[in-house]
Amino acid sequence: MARHDYIFVDESGDAAFTLDPVSGELLSSGYYVAAALHLCDDAFRDLNRHVAAFRYYSGLNRELKIPAQKEEFSRLLDPIRALSEGGRNIWASVVYVDKLRYNGSYLKPGGKRPASPVRFRNYMLRRLLEHHFQSYPLQSAQYDLVLDRVELTEGETANLKQYISGNRNIPTPTHITHASSIYVEGLQVVHHIANGYKDVVDGDRVPAELSFVNPRDLTTHQYVRG
C-alpha cells in the first residue's frame, strides 16, 4: 500500500499573450500546456531505474531536453507508458489551451480577470489538478506537489497553497516544493509530457507513447468560478 503520493508539474509555452503592435502577429507562444506526473512512493524505483538505463544506453548525462520528433523521445516515454498501463502506480494528465482562441481568465488584457502571468499559471495549475484528481485519486493520505517553478517567492508559494486549499475538488498538498529538473527525474519526465503535447495543440495526433496521458482541452471550456 502506498505511503505517499507525489505529483510533478511542468509547463510548455509561456503565460503571456503578446501581439506585435504593427502586424498583430502573436509574439509569445501559441499554446500553453500544463502536465502532471503522479507517482506513489513504490513506483519511484521503476521510474528511476528506467531513466538511469535510458541515460546509460543513450549517453545523455545532462539535463534531458529531447524534441518530440526524436527517436529518444519515444525511448524515454514508451516504457513509462507501459509501467502506467501495467498498474505500477504511475498516472499522468495534461490541460492545454490554444492562446489565440482562448478567452478565459488571466491571459489577455481587459475582461473580468485581465492578464496576470502568475495568476494564469496558478489558475491553469488548479484546473490541471481538478482534472487529474477526477480520474486519479490519491492512494495515500498525503502528497507532495513538486513544481519546476523555482522563481516563486515564499509569499507566492503561500498564496498558491491557500488558493489550492480553498478548492474542495483538490486535496491540500502536504508540501509544495520547487526544484530544478536538472536533478529531479520526475520533473524531467513530466517536462517531456508537456512538451510532447504542444504539437497536439497545433492539431497533430497524440503520439503513441503519450497514450497513457489523460488530456483536456481548456481552450473553450471555461470555468464559472475564478
Which CATH number belongs to the domain containing residue 77 in this structure? 3.30.420.10
Q: Which domain holds residue 43?
A: 5-217
Q: In sequence order, what are the residues at sequence separation of 6 or more whose Cβ sits closer than 8 angstroms to the Cβ of residue 220?
A: 101, 102
Number of domains in the chain: 1
pLDDT at 217: 93
- Please say whether the beta carbons of 189 and 63 come within 8 A: no
Residue 223 has pLDDT above 60, yes or no: no
Q: Is residue 223 part of a domain?
A: no
Residue type, 143: Y
State residue 8 phi and psi, 5-degree precision. -100, 135
Q: Is 147 in a helix, a strand, or coil?
A: strand
Q: What is the pLDDT of residues 9-61, one digit of tens each?
A: 999 999 999 988 899 899 999 999 999 999 999 999 999 999 989 988 887 76
Q: What is the pLDDT of residues 111-169, one digit of tens each?
A: 788 999 989 999 999 999 999 999 999 999 999 999 987 677 778 888 888 888 878 89
Q: Is residue 225 part of a domain?
A: no
Q: What percent of the chain has pLDDT over 90?
A: 61
Report DSSP state, residue 172. P
Distance CA 155, CA 194 (A): 27
